[in-house]
Structure 1
Amino acid sequence: MLKDVKFQAHRLSVAPMMDWTDRHCRVLHRTLSAHALLYTEMLTTGAILHGDRERLLAYDPAEHPVALQLGGSDAADLVAAALIGEAEGYDEINLNVGCPSDRVQSGRFGACLMREPELVAECMAAMAAAVKVPVTVKCRIGVDDQEPSDSLFRLVDLCVQAGVSSFVVHARKAWLKGLSPKENRDVPPLDYPLVYRLKRERPDLTIVINGGIASLDETLAHLEQVDGVMLGRAAYHDPAILGQVDRRVFGRGEDIDAFQAVELYRPYVMGQLAKGVHLAAMTRHMLGLFHGLPGARSWRRILTVEGVKSGAGIEVIDAALAAVSGAQDERRLRRLEAGEAA
């Protein structure tokens, strides 16, 4: 049945995650899925306009399709940053209306913008008029004492009038006072049915659901109700889950296992090492590749201990891979012996 589904990258995306989804992480994720939509970390307009633009916006061509997520609330600055992102070749410009951190709130962007839907719509209209690539919104269902069925629908409807047709909805409120950003990912209850209702009552919109989704089985269940699923921590801590995405979600391609992902990632690592990039900048994203498999602990230990050393090179990954292979061979041998004994 999936083979008949028209290919659309938003069916499965990997969430923008601060300090995690940098360019090295995204290339690793791309080795596992050719079709998932990848997102940058949230980048503030100030950082893009006044910071090290080349470092912040650099990405590998293999990452496409890849979206740039912006943080900001000044329409002129957002337009300027969006134009830069478009010129750099990003496939989508996304506005963060969901991050609950104090630093983000003090800058008047992120989840606190749920209280200013008119401002969000003004910013989205300005960006939509300025760039040719899609502009999208990633939001919460509400903040603090807001009634989600009111706050979410109002934000969406105003943004639709501004020219937006695609929304990623983290299906829980954000509590801006009293909860840390970490607690805001777990404590407020999830309300998937509200997001389903949004899609049902606004069928012409592209609605992607996010929040607490931990497996591809859950992903497929959500896809019965909405247009797409955005995976966050599940994809980062257990990236091998992405190796089944092309077949199970997009209905095209074959599964990629962790061993294949390492081999596909290897040329990129070699190229970055030659440019002076520290090995740990890349291997830190690989720690979960063999999650739940024999040798996973040795894999993590070798990458963590040896990968941070000065001059660490590809031999560290080779040693870690050998440890995993050895552990899996030993397990197979034990199973064979047990079977023969039986």
Structure 2
Amino acid sequence: MSKKKIIIGVLLTAVLSSFLTIAGLCFAFGIHSNEVADIVRFLGVKRFIEARYVSDVNETKLMDGAISGMVQSLGDPHSLYMNADRFEQLKEHTEGEFGGIGVTMGFKDSKVTIISVLDDTPGQHAGLEAGDEIMAVDGTPVSEMQPEEVAMHIRGEVGTKVVLTIERDGETQDYTIERATIKIDTAKGTMLEDGMGYIRIASFSENTGKEFKAAYDSLEEQGMKGLIIDLRENPGGLVTSCVEIANMVVPKGPIVSVVERDGSKEVHESNLEESKYPIVVLIDGNSASASEILAGALQDTGAATLVGTKSYGKGSVQVVVPMLHNDGLKLTIAKYYTPNGRCIDGTGIEPDVEVELPEGATTDVQLEKAKEVLKEKLQ
């Protein structure tokens, strides 16, 4: 018997076996008949690989690759399959402490750019700068990874090293950086002149609401008359933390509506009777996701004036689903809308007062303009 006939026989056997295996499952789970062929095709290929591939096959890795391929086929940069290690890294990041190098990244126009470098972190000590473009991680071009994967590859066990290939001013250089425990204080406040409070929110993690409240209460004790909320270079994070903060500054009513593809809607609302202080919000092109939810709610309700440049435009909502092998799936399931019904996905939020931050500026002209706007409100 020829090798070709043997292969065809094995494949047909695999397909027939797959069909018999799933026939009962399809009936039990109400799978439509037009989906059965695709399931048979998938299982047939899987079994053929397991039976005929030149080397032993790790079944778990095979399924990981299949699931990852399904997610990648969506063409959505915010949807991602995570194996057990990467899923654990994601959980550590949202909890506010993880092994990394201390940089915030932006993903746009097929580029990965460093937005900011945290003080006293491995990234700062290595000489990384805001504006650096990451070309590769440990020799793997970022063009071969999904955006979310880039961050996962950079994070890792404390004490291990990662090599970033950086392009700056047309020149490329490798940076070898040892990962450390990164503890993010996501909300910090300070009192400026003339009773103006200032709170910088770096991201929205589990503790951000508590940190914001602590900063807010401290500024009140110091006699705050008005507030500047700085959301620049804030990539977003947990919507729950954003809503928690919105309840302190957004007047009573809708904060954000989350709408799924079937039209079902979940509305998050503020219970705050009225804003206690005039507010100015700073945004820029790297203010994304939860940052845009907060900024959009404050703008739509007239509770704040937005200063800076147009925001990033990430108006989609992801859910993180734990799976059976300590792995997880991050999937876009909805879009969010501001109180006035704006969907800003792909468009962003326009500031009320546009102010560019010139490259190489020695003065934060955006903050200075925010202070000027707030002073007018206080008069």
| TM-score normalised over the length of structure 2 | 0.24
- Structure whose CA Rg is larger: 2
If each structure's helix is expressed as a fraction of its own residues, which one has the higher value? 1
Q: Which has the higher contact order (CA 8 A, sep 6+)?
A: 1
If each structure's strand is expressed as a fraction of its own residues, which one has the higher value? 2
| TM-score normalised over the length of structure 1 | 0.26
